[in-house]
Amino acid sequence: MIRVLTVGTGTITTAFCRAVDTVAGIRVHAVRSRDADRSRLLADSVGAVPAPTDLERALALDDIDAVYVASPNRLHAEHVRLAIERGKHVLVEKPGVTDAPAWADLVAQADRAGVVLMEAVRSAYDPGTRELERLLPLAGRLRRASFRFEKVSSRYPAVLRGESSSAFDPDGGGALLDLGVYAVNTVIGLFGEPRGVAGLRVPVAGGVDGAGIALLDYGDVVVDVSVSKITTSFASSTIQGEDATLEIDRVVAPRSITVRPVDGAARTVHEIPPPAHLLAPEVARFVELVGGADPGPDQRRTGATLRTLDRIRAAWGDDPDRA
C-alpha cells in the first residue's frame, strides 16, 4: 500500500484524494498545508490526518511513501526536490515544473535516489487520448491540426478588479502553463517535438499570458495550439488528414471523437466512457511506476512538453534566453 502525503489543499488536491479512493494499492494518509485549519478540514473530509505545516517536518513522517505536490506552480521544483531528498516517490501536478532544465535536474535526482518522479497531467492518461491515438491512422497522411483549450477563469473578474491570483501570477501562472500544458502534451504524444515554433500572446495582469496561440512546425504538418484564461471557445479541436478529419470535443479529456471522411462518406462518432474518476488513470499509472514499471517514457514526454512550452514562451518574447 502506497501511503501518500498531499502538499496543497486546493480543489485539485480534493479531486486527487477522491480519485485515490477508486484505485487499489494507494491511499491518502496525510494532508499538509501552510494553513493548519485548511489541512485539518481537508484531512477530515478525506479520512486522512493533518500533517505539520512545516514541509520538512511533514516529509519526515515515517509512515509516508509518496508525496503528491499540488502547491503553486512556482514552488513545484523546490517541493519536489525536498521530497526526493527524503526518499519519497513524487507525483507532481502539472506543470511538473516551470521549465525543462529544472525537470531534467529533478529526473536525474530521482534516479539517483531510486524513487519515482511523475507529472500528473491527466490528458496523457485519459482513455479518450488513447482512443484518439487509435483512430489517428484513419485520417491518412496528416497535414493540419488545431488544438484548443480556451476557458475563462473564474478568477479573472477578481484580476480585473486588481486582486492577485496564483492563476495569473507571472511567476508560474498564465494560460500556457495552466491550460496549454494539456494541449501541448497531447501534441507531443501524437507528433513528437516540433522543428520550429512561432506564436503570439495576449498579456494581462502585469504581463502574464491571458491568451495566446502557437504554431508548431512538423515539416509537412502544421499544428496550432490556442489557449486562453480570459475567453471561452466552444469549437472542437481537429486533426486534418488527406483522408479524413478527426473532431475532438475537448483536448483534456476527449469523450467524443468524430471521424469525417473527405470523400463524403458517412461520419462515425466514437463515444469514450469516462473513467471512475477523471484523475483515476493518472493515479493508477503512478501506482504502476512505484510498483516497478519504467518511468522513463512518462518523464521523457514531460521533458519534451516542457521544452516545447519553453520555446513557445520564447516565441512570445517572455524570455529571450530560452531556446
Residue 203 Cα to chain centre, angstroms = 22
Tell me whether residue 229 is one of the annotated catalytic residues: no
72 Cβ contact partners less than 8 Å away, ≥ 6 residues apart: 8, 166, 169, 172
Q: How many other β-carbons are positioned within 10 Å of the β-carbon of residue 108?
A: 11
Q: Cis omega (within 30 of 0) on the bond before 95?
A: yes
Residue 94 Cα to chain centre, angstroms = 4
The answer to whether 82 and 110 have CB atoms below 8 angstroms apart is: no
Q: Cell numbers 496564483 correspond to what residue? A: 166
Rounded CA separation 256/268 (Å): 10
Q: Taking the alpha carbons of 103, 118, 254, 167 in that order, is the dihedral positive or negative? A: negative
Q: Cell numbers 483515476 correspond to what residue? A: 280
Rounded CA separation 302/59 (Å): 25
Closest by alpha carbon to 229, among 201, 256, 250, 253?
201
Scored b (16 or more CB within 10 A) or e, 46-60 reads bebebbeeebeebbe
Q: Spot the catalytic one: 88, 94, 151, 229.
A: 94
Catalytic residues: 94
